[in-house]
Amino acid sequence: DNLSEALKKLKLASVDSATDNVEGCLDCLLKALAHNNADASEKIQEMGVLPLLPTLLAPQSSCTPKVANIIAEVAKNGTHQIKAGLIPPLVQLLHSKDQEVLLQTGRALGNICYDSHEGRSAVDLAGGAQIVAGHIKSLSQNTDPDNGKLLTVFCGMLMNYSNDNDSLQAQLINMGVIPNLVKLLGLHSDNTALTEMCLIAFGNLAELESSKEQFASTNIAEELVRLFQRQAEHEKKELIFEVLAPLAEN
């Protein structure tokens, strides 16, 4: 009942842009999604709230991180966001300087791309991957913990974007993503989540013949061996071997 009430209020508030009312409604939606994501997502979809969200994704609005967070959570249950026209405004938010906006936007786009050809195509069309690849390049030297979290989300987004899709993987290779990911591996080797994300991304990209030349121009072998020697977990060692194997064949 609280969720239904919040959704009704949100529909009204989005028309007159009353920020205080909107914030309260968004908090209620996030609480409902945390409690039961599937049911809350269905209700949000049924009540036609998704098409209203682009108007709330204004770069300067204090509501924006919460709206992007809601989209990220709802995206775990399908790709209604594409029909709601949310992807172009989300991609525009990637130009924001606000770390929380970037984090939640990266999560939203990553979840939209997850296991969805339609989602990946829409993000591709809006130019999202190029902007994220640019962020990874410019942020790679910064070892601040918050920055590490953002880099992990961005790497995960590119991984979901290109997974099982040769043409999108080739696109990332042409953007020069590989040398930047290798740099991340060296500079952020203490960040378990980020190194794991890099390894999975390498595993995806290493299968493509066009990636071999780029990998060969980096010090990936040294970085992987160094990482391997530091590992106690068998699964992580296996992940490193999975990257080394296709490279060793070349």
Average pLDDT of the chain is 90
Does 113 share its domain with 190?
Answer: no
Same domain, 122 and 134: no
Domain coverage including residue 96: 1-126
Say whether pLDDT at 1 is over 70: no
Contact (CB, 8 A) for 170 and 160:
no
Q: Could you tell me if 113 and 34 lie in one domain?
A: yes
At 249 the pLDDT is 79
Q: What is the pLDDT of residue 102?
A: 97
The pLDDT assigned to 212 comes to 87
C-alpha distances out from residue 219 to 10, 98, 182, Å: 52, 33, 7
Q: CATH number, domain at 49?
A: 1.25.10.10
The pLDDT value recorded for residue 61 is 85
The total domain count for the chain is 2
Whether residue 145 is found in the same domain as residue 195: yes
What does the pLDDT average to over 37-55?
Answer: 89
> pLDDT tens-digit profile of 152-166?
999 999 999 999 999
Q: Are 211 and 165 in contact (CB under 8 A)?
A: no
pLDDT of residue 199: 93
Residue 192 and residue 96 share a domain: no
How does 210-247 read in b/e, with b if 16+ C-beta sit within 10 Å?
ebbebbeebebeebbeebeeeeeeeebeebbeebbebb
Asked if 40 and 122 sit in the same domain, the reply is yes
Q: What percent of the chain has pLDDT above 90?
A: 59
Q: What is the tens place of the pLDDT at every residue in 136-195?
A: 999 998 888 889 999 999 999 999 999 999 999 999 999 999 999 999 999 998 899 999
Of 79, 96, 126, at which residue does a domain stop? 126
- Judgement on whether residues 171 and 231 belong to the same structural domain of the protein: yes
If asked whether residues 109 and 212 sit together in one domain, one would say no
Query: What global pTM score does this model have?
Result: 0.91
